[in-house]
Amino acid sequence: MSEKSPLDRLLARTDFKPFSGRHAFRVLELSRKKLMMPPVRDDDVLKAVSSLGLILETEVAMIVAIQETLCKRCGNCCSNRVHLRFRKEELKGVADYLHVEYKRLKDQLKATPMGDGTFIIAQPCSFLRNSLCSVYPVRPGTCRGYPSTDLLTSMGRGAPFDGCPIADDLLAEIVVKRALEEQMWRDHPEELKAMAEKRRVDLEKLASLPERERMKLLTKGYAKNLQSNTR
Ligand code: SF4
Ligand code: SF4
C-alpha cells in the first residue's frame, strides 16, 4: 500500500482548492444517500466532497457520459440559459438536418453573430418541442456538454450552480467513485493499483490527441461501459 491514499494525494496537489459552502453541503447530503453508509466511512465521503475542488479529465468524461441517462428532460437548459451559442458549422449542420437553407434558418432564429464564428440565438430555443430537442442528433456542443461544462465553469468561479436539476447528482457520482476507491485502497490495494495502471496506459494512448478529441473518446468509452452495465 502506498503511503498516501488516492484522496490524500489529490488534496496534496498544488493546484488543489477545497470545494466548500452551500453547494458542497448539498452534494454531501446526496452522496451520503447514494452510498447508503455504512460500509463507506463518513470521513471518506466528507473528504471526497471537499476534493471536488479538483476534477480529473477522466471524471469529466464520466459525468458527460452519465448526464444523458440522468437528464430529466425538463427543457430548462433550452429556455433559461444565459447564452445559447452555436458555431457556424453547427448551425449549418442543423440547416442540413432540417433541409432548410442556412441563411433562412439564421434569419428565422434571429441568430446574432458574435464576430468569432459563433452565433447567439434567442430563448426559449426554437428547436424545443414539448420539452424535447427536435434537432437532437445535431445539437451544438454547448448542448451536448450541458450541464457538465457549465457546472465545472461555475465551480471554477466558486459560484453555486443551480441551472440544472441533475448537476448535484453528477458531482455526487464523482464523490461515490472517489469514496469507493478510498475504501478499496484500504481493503484491496492491489486491485486498485491495477485499475489505476490500466487507466494510465489508456490515457497515455490518447495523450497526443487534441483535448476535444480526447474528451470525445473518453466519453464514448464511459458511455459504452454504461450501456453494457445496464444490459
Ligand atoms: S436542465 Fe438538465 S435535466 Fe433539464 S433537460 Fe437540461 S440537462 Fe436535462
Ligand atoms: S438545440 Fe436542442 S438541446 Fe440545444 S437548446 Fe435547442 S432544443 Fe435545447
Please give all residues whose beta carbon lies within 6 A of any atom in ligand 1, as ranges.
Answer: 71-77, 146-147, 164-166
Could you read off the pLDDT tens digit of each residue along the chain, which spans 231 residues?
557 899 999 999 998 889 988 889 999 999 998 887 567 889 999 999 999 999 988 898 889 888 988 899 898 999 888 778 999 999 999 999 999 999 999 999 989 999 999 999 988 899 998 888 999 999 999 999 999 999 998 888 888 888 899 999 999 999 998 998 898 888 888 888 888 888 777 777 776 777 677 777 777 766 666 555 544
The residue behind cell 455526487 is: 172
Q: Give distance in angstroms: CA of 147 to centre of ligand 1.
A: 7
Task: Provide the pLDDT for residue 171.
Answer: 95
Domain ranges for the chain: 6-73+149-230, 82-145
Closest atom, ligand 2, to C-alpha of 139: 1
pTM of the model: 0.83
Task: Provide the pLDDT for residue 204.
Answer: 74
- For residue 67, give the ligand nearest its CA: 1
**Class of residue 194 by CB neighbours under 10 A (exposed 0-12, middle 13-18, buried 19+):** exposed
Q: Give distance in angstroms: CA of 90 to centre of ligand 2.
A: 12
Task: Provide the pLDDT for residue 230.
Answer: 47
Q: Give distance in angstroms: CA of 199 to centre of ligand 2.
A: 33
